[in-house]
Structure 1
Amino acid sequence: MNKLSLWLAIIAIVMSVGSFLYLNSTSDQVYVDVNKLIDGYKRTKIVRAEFEAKAKTLNANVDSLMTDWQNELKIYEKERSKMSTKELELKQELLGNKQQQINNYQQAIQKQIQEEDKKATQTIVNDINDYVKEYGKKHKYTIILGASGSGNIMYANEDADLTEDVLNELNKDFDGK
């Protein structure tokens, strides 16, 4: 009976060591650096350039309206001494109303720009999330964590970092579309 116990103990130890080595050598928990994926993704550069061009155009419209208003104000300042009290009040009211309209328009443009930026960013994030999901299925990972630099993954072995592989394949996939 003593021999049987010894053999069972040896088999149990061998199986434990084997399982430990196997599980440690084939980790299916990996991560990607989300910020690097977003920055390195080719579509990000295209979407950002389109967004910046649109924002520049919208801001140029506001700047043009402000310049026109400032020119009107300068003309008013020059001619105000020649105006009657009634004309002064009317011109001041018109200038005030125009300034308020420009301010409202500027706020609406800023809100639109923020919404466009959010929508563009979400499009990129959705692309990356969808691709990482497919990448994980293809390579049979149990879990792929996303590190964003804000402390959600404090340490991971460099072998568990798939960022470069995913980024390269993501960009190849984008180029193929």
Structure 2
Amino acid sequence: MKRINYLAKGILAALVVVMFAQCSGKKTDADESVTAMGVAPSGLKIAYVEIDTLLTKYTFWNDLNEMMMKKEENIRATLNQKARELDAEGKEFQRKVQNNAFVSRERAEQENARLVKKQQDLQELQSRLTNELQAENQKNSLQLRDSINSFLKIYNKKHKYSMIFSNTGFDNLLYADKAYNITNDIIEGLNERYAPSQKKK
């Protein structure tokens, strides 16, 4: 029985040695899949950008956000003012109805129809302005992405990175050596590139 165990262990050891020799001797499909999964081949140059930091320090994006906040405040102020006016007119209408101030029932119905129409117009205005604001926000997001992508192409002509990752919190990179962090370089370059267009204004 012991002899069978020794024999089995000897065969197993021999198989392990043969497999190890084969694996180290030639590149297999498994090797290729390991490389594809992120084990960097020699010479691969990688970096990452912290998107949260970039967005807080990129002047172009901050200017866009400030402009959009002002626009949103203006829309809110306009809608609130119109809503207050409508509310005041509605209360005045109720007061007149209670005091029989309308010369005829037909006149009261006309005034009521006018107020209903005004309320519908206000709802339509709110919907239209909200949709316009959303469309502009989407356009701004595309502009942001295009400006970053455009700059990275120029930046990478000099630095020759094989890959540049984006990182938002822990969404993409669970761990990365700070040596690969090029966020400040990118922010500085983007802001320098944006500065001339500011001077033209």
Give me the whole-angstrom Cα distance separating, in 1, the residues matched to 2:165 and 2:157: 14
Q: In the TM superposition, what is the alpha-carbon distance from 1:150 to its structure 2 partner?
A: 5.2
Aligned mate of 2:192, from 158, 172, 176: 172
Deviation at 1:163? 0.7
Within 2, Cα distance between the matches of 1:172 and 1:91? 59
Query: Of 95, 119, 131, which residue of structure 2 is paired with 1:99?
Result: 119
SS state of the match for residue 175, structure 2?
A: coil
Partner Cα separation in structure 2 for residue 136 and residue 149 of structure 1: 24
Counterpart Cα distance in 1 of 2:170 and 2:126: 33
Percent identity among equivalent residues?
23
TM alignment of 1:27-176, pairs within 5 A: 28-81=45-98, 82=100, 83=102, 84-149=104-169, 151-176=171-196
How many residues of Structure 1 are paired with residues of Structure 2 in the alignment? 154
Aligned-pair CA distance for 1:131: 1.0
* C-alpha distance in 1 between matches for 2:193 and 2:56: 16
Whole-Å separation in 1 of the counterparts to 2:118 and 2:189: 53
When structure 1 is superposed on structure 2, of 72-81 and 141-150 the one drifting more is 141-150
2:96 and 2:70 map into 1 onto residues whose CA distance is: 39
> Cα RMSD over matched residues?
2.0
Is the CA contact 2:55–2:62 (under 8 Å) kept in the aligned structure 1? no
Letter in 2 for 1:92: N
Q: Secondary structure at the match of 1:155?
A: coil
Spell out, residue by residue over 1:80-122, the C-alpha distance to the aligned partner (whole angstroms, 9 max, x if none): 1213433333222221121111111101111111111221222
Q: Which runs of 5+ in 2 are unaligned?
A: 1-40
TM-score (norm 2): 0.69
List structure 1 runs of 4+ shifted beyond 4 angstroms. Answer: none
The structure whose Rg is larger is 2
Note the alpha carbon deviations across 1:109-144, whole angstroms, 9 max, x for none.
Answer: 111111112212221221112112221222111111
Equivalents in 1 of 2:78, 2:111: separation in Å? 24
- Answer yes or no: is the 8 Å Cα contact 1:38–1:124 preserved in 2: no
Which piece of structure 1 moves more, 96-105 or 27-36? 27-36
User: How far apart, in 2, do the equivalents of 1:150 and 1:69 lie?
Assistant: 49
Amino acid at match of 2:59: K
